[in-house]
Amino acid sequence: MQKPRLMTPGPAPVPEDVLLELARPVIHHRSAEAKQVIVECAAGLKDVFRTANDVLILTASGTGAMEAAAVNTVPRGGKAIVLNAGWFALRWAKICQTYGINAVTVDFEWGRPVDPQRVENALKEHPDAVAVFGTLSETSTGTGHPVEAIGKVVARTDAVFAVDGISGVGAMECRTDAWGIDLLAVGSQKALMLPPGLAFLAVSEKAWKKIDAFDAPAFYFNLKSARKKMADFDTPYTPAHTLILALRQSLRRLQAEGMENVWERHRKMSEACQAGIQALGLELFSSRPAEGLTAFRVPEGLKDTQIRGKLSERFGITAVGGQDKLKGQIVRVGHMGYMDELDVVSGLAALEMVLAELGYDVEPGRAVTAAQQVLIGPRSAAAVG
Amino acid sequence: MQKPRLMTPGPAPVPEDVLLELARPVIHHRSAEAKQVIVECAAGLKDVFRTANDVLILTASGTGAMEAAAVNTVPRGGKAIVLNAGWFALRWAKICQTYGINAVTVDFEWGRPVDPQRVENALKEHPDAVAVFGTLSETSTGTGHPVEAIGKVVARTDAVFAVDGISGVGAMECRTDAWGIDLLAVGSQKALMLPPGLAFLAVSEKAWKKIDAFDAPAFYFNLKSARKKMADFDTPYTPAHTLILALRQSLRRLQAEGMENVWERHRKMSEACQAGIQALGLELFSSRPAEGLTAFRVPEGLKDTQIRGKLSERFGITAVGGQDKLKGQIVRVGHMGYMDELDVVSGLAALEMVLAELGYDVEPGRAVTAAQQVLIGPRSAAAVG
């Protein structure tokens, strides 16, 4: 028997009751029933994203929401600052290139957080920048960026702040309005506990002003059309509405838990995972880890494919390796969405056994114990000790 | 109790076993298992579309596939001929307008088929046209266009023929390669028996030549990227892969039935529905009805909302009205996807009862009988009579 355990930084596991929503008979997307589902989802998304602004629902992967944010906000020939600190941040630059947006990249070492001071400098140097494109959780390096601090810097300028929150939102604190995020792109398949296929985009008034100022080269991803339809709780084209049905259910779950508790759960999973990894003598890749995934360097003498292959073969665990220049150098373990503390503990137990079987010098139980100590808190740990 | 019966021209009903695929635990989209699903889907789509060419899988509604076909094939400033015979044909023109493509529309009366001779004339008048944009089944009017004949005309020129097959493919004969269709856009939620959320695009060698000739303003919908990934049975970004799992199942169903039989089933449903409608003294809207839906004019003294409202209230049937300038003038009944002959007969029985209850002069049973006569064939009908 092999029991599948999805521990990738997206897609993340989906609760059974959410999956079952997908198996319900299809309804017409313009029916009163379908509209009521969108009414509820619109309210739930605002709560989860901590925004009073419109949240648009797109049938696409998260990349579609990034593209929509960029092409609708910055006209061809306009300037944008890209906070380039990983593979997915680079996607902003590629989107800009495709649409003739003049992307000024501010480069950071992969695995290091964006420095808000450098963002401030870049904005001073480029006062004509229409937008700053950043990332909440850089999935390729497992790094969480200081979006709140960057948001403060951008808010003082005329530029809008667009954030790729695809693997971040839900897995780490993100207060869209309070932090000055003008465009927040989110995907369904991460901490929102859904299969892939939907993307979301929260848009501020400041962003709408930029959007309303020109005719964007966007049809399917035209935000003006989407806003007009959303005002009536509708979408411009036929949406993936079985996924929207499931979204309603996952939003109910998130709201029942409460976003502060959801963030806290992910923070704990993240800290426990980091403690476990380090207790094995492994090195974390990021100097400021994201809270929905943990990336560690492949130890000397082993290959990432050996570790991941054996995790899969022995325990049905899917983890992923590095992308682009990090290929073969890191392993990334997801702990977001429908996962809890015990999933992290058992994942670490599996990693210990797999490393031991691969001949790596590891003392089984050390990672588990270190994680447990994080999870039960210092006082309880002391009492047990 | 209200039993829902989806009789819209998309979304169409989805078989239970296909729906259940959606409720399976999510897997990683880059896993060997996921790749194997795409391998099978790629082969199945080729068979269903009758093409030896690449069929790309996009996470989007069918409109996304139309946009992809247009912007990747015709550069900004290039010319395209739009066969404008309905609300959805007009979408081609709107896409062109958004992306600076010079759209020459050849206008046809709504409800009438495209005349291939006029396409030929337009191509002669505009020998610089890069593409001709047409429609297999115009969902807004319930018209099937003579795509085979149009394809022959376009094939003699340097232009490529792009066809919106969204509500047509599966519901009516469509032989992509034999008919000279260079770009075929299809949506998941029609005769392919899936929920909305996926789109497909078959691309010919002739079309690839146009696509390879320039850098299209397309990132999410970039066909070069999609082709590159599809060569390895992958997609450029995270696809809606629970829908792809379901696609495999629906393709298995279509292939088990055999496409000729699938087309024949729809042809029979269509003829039976038309006969029933006419037996009630109602007027078909289209002079060349499509085979996945039937549109009829709202009879004098009644409103389309009354008919549709009562169909829904009494029998849980969802039918749709007219769009744009046809609003209030027609009722459109879908019979595509997971529907069979008896669904059409019972739908007509419901229509008879509803019309009678609304005070329309109708003899209950006439539509049903007319449909039955179509379905059992002239000889059997004579024997019974």
Minimum Cα–Cα distance from A319: chain B residue:
B28
CB contact under 8 A, B237 and A63: yes
CB contact under 8 A, B195 and A11: no
What's the rounded mean pLDDT across residues B89-104? 98
Of B19, B61, B100, the CB nearest to A237: B61
What's the rounded mean pLDDT across residues B204-225? 98
Percent of chain A residues topping a pLDDT of 70: 98
The pLDDT assigned to A381 comes to 64
Find out whether B217 and B13 touch, Cβ atoms under 8 Å: no
Find chain B residues with C-beta within 8 A of A239's C-beta. 61, 196-197
Half-sphere exposure of A53 (CA within 13 A, CB side): 24
| CA distance, residue B380 to nearest chain A CA (Å) | 36
3-class DSSP state of B77: coil
Q: Is the dihedral of CA B224, B104, B181, A59 positive or negative?
A: positive
Find out whether B150 and B132 touch, Cβ atoms under 8 Å: yes
* Residues near A382 by beta carbon (within 8 Å), at least 6 away in sequence: none
Residue A263 has pLDDT above 60, yes or no: yes
Of A22, A29, A67, the CB nearest to B23: A22
Report pLDDT digits (tens) over A68-105: 999 999 999 999 999 999 999 999 999 999 999 999 99
Listing DSSP states for A124-136 in one string gives HH-TTEEEEEEES
Supply B249's token pair. 């199942």
The Cα B210–Cα B218 span in angstroms is 14
The pLDDT assigned to B381 comes to 64
The pLDDT assigned to B51 comes to 98
Q: If you search the block for the tokens 């829902």, which residue do you land on?
A: B4
Residue A382 has pLDDT above 70, yes or no: no
CB contact under 8 A, A60 and B220: yes
| CA distance, residue B384 to nearest chain A CA (Å) | 38
Find chain B residues with C-beta within 8 A of A4's C-beta. 25, 27
Find chain A residues with C-beta within 8 A of B23's C-beta. 19-20, 22-23
Size of interface A-B (CB pairs under 8 A): 181
**Mean pLDDT taken over chain A:** 97
The Cα B273–Cα B267 span in angstroms is 10
Report pLDDT digits (tens) over A19-32: 999 999 999 999 99
What's A291's DSSP letter? S
In chain A, alpha helices (H):
16-22, 32-49, 62-73, 87-98, 116-125, 147-155, 205-212, 223-230, 241-257, 259-279, 304-315, 341-357, 366-384
Find out whether B192 and B47 touch, Cβ atoms under 8 Å: no
Lowest mean pLDDT among A25-34, A133-142, A212-221, A240-249: A25-34
Angle CA A221–A223–A225, to nearest 5? 95
What are the backbone dihedrals phi and psi of residue A235, each rounded to the nearest 5 degrees, phi first?
-125, 155
CB contact under 8 A, B29 and A95: no
| CA distance, residue B53 to nearest chain A CA (Å) | 24
Minimum Cα–Cα distance from A58: chain B residue:
B60
What's the rounded mean pLDDT across residues A154-178? 98
What's the rounded mean pLDDT across residues B102-116? 98
The pLDDT assigned to A179 comes to 98
Report pLDDT digits (tens) over B229-278: 999 999 999 999 999 999 999 999 999 999 999 999 999 999 999 999 99
**Mean pLDDT taken over chain B:** 97
The Cα A213–Cα A369 span in angstroms is 57
In A74-145, alpha helices (H):
87-98, 116-125
Residue B382 has pLDDT above 80, yes or no: no
* Residues near A110 by beta carbon (within 8 Å), at least 6 away in sequence: A85, A86, A87, A140, A141, A143, A325, A326
Q: Nearest Cα to B160, choosing from B125, B139, B143, B184? A: B184
Find out whether B42 and B49 touch, Cβ atoms under 8 Å: no
Intra-chain end-to-end CA distance of chain B, in Å: 37
Minimum Cα–Cα distance from A238: chain B residue:
B61
Residue A385 has pLDDT above 70, yes or no: no
Residue B385 has pLDDT above 60, yes or no: no
Find out whether B351 and B320 touch, Cβ atoms under 8 Å: no
Find chain B residues with C-beta within 8 A of A29's C-beta. 11, 196
Find chain A residues with C-beta within 8 A of B35's C-beta. none
The pLDDT assigned to B126 comes to 98
Find chain A residues with C-beta within 8 A of B26's C-beta. 6, 11-14, 19, 189, 195-196
Find chain B residues with C-beta within 8 A of A241's C-beta. 11, 195-196
What's the rounded mean pLDDT across residues A297-304? 97
Find chain A residues with C-beta within 8 A of B222's C-beta. 98
Of A26, A221, A318, the CB nearest to B14: A26
The Cα B190–Cα B224 span in angstroms is 27
* Amino acid letter, residue B291: E
Supply A211's token pair. 């959007």
Minimum Cα–Cα distance from A18: chain B residue:
B23
The pLDDT assigned to B120 comes to 98
Burial class (CB within 10 angstroms; exposed 0-12, middle 13-18, buried 19+) of B381: middle
Minimum Cα–Cα distance from A6: chain B residue:
B27
The Cα B33–Cα A316 span in angstroms is 12
The Cα A5–Cα A343 span in angstroms is 9
Q: If you search the block for the tokens 């998941």, which residue do you land on?
A: B188
Report pLDDT digits (tens) over A170-179: 999 999 999 9
Q: Nearest Cα to A134, choosing from A155, A125, A53? A: A155
CB contact under 8 A, B28 and A318: yes
CB contact under 8 A, A318 and B27: yes
The pLDDT assigned to A91 comes to 98
Find chain A residues with C-beta within 8 A of B218's C-beta. 98
Report pLDDT digits (tens) over A318-362: 999 999 999 999 999 999 999 999 999 999 999 999 999 999 999
Listing DSSP states for B39-65 in one string gives HHHHHHHHHHHT-SSEEEEEES-HHHH
- Total residues belonging to chain B: 385
Supply B313's token pair. 């209230």
The pLDDT assigned to B384 comes to 60
What's the rounded mean pLDDT across residues B337-345? 97
Half-sphere exposure of A94 (CA within 13 A, CB side): 14
Residue A163 has pLDDT above 80, yes or no: yes
The pLDDT confidence band at residue B2, using thresholds 50, 70 and 90, is confident
Rg for chain B, CA atoms, rounded:
21
Find out whether A200 and A226 touch, Cβ atoms under 8 Å: no
What's the rounded mean pLDDT across residues B6-33? 95
The pLDDT assigned to A252 comes to 98
Interface probe with B: pick from A27, A59, A336, most Cβ of B within 10 Å = A59
What are the backbone dihedrals phi and psi of residue A347, each rounded to the nearest 5 degrees, phi first?
-65, -40
CB contact under 8 A, A11 and B238: yes
Give me the residues paired with residue B137 across strands: B144
Intra-chain end-to-end CA distance of chain A, in Å: 37
CB contact under 8 A, B243 and A241: no
What's the rounded mean pLDDT across residues B140-158? 98
Q: Is the dihedral of CA A362, A366, A367, A368 positive or negative?
A: positive
Half-sphere exposure of A367 (CA within 13 A, CB side): 27
Minimum Cα–Cα distance from A308: chain B residue:
B31
Interface probe with A: pick from B238, B241, B305, most Cβ of A within 10 Å = B238
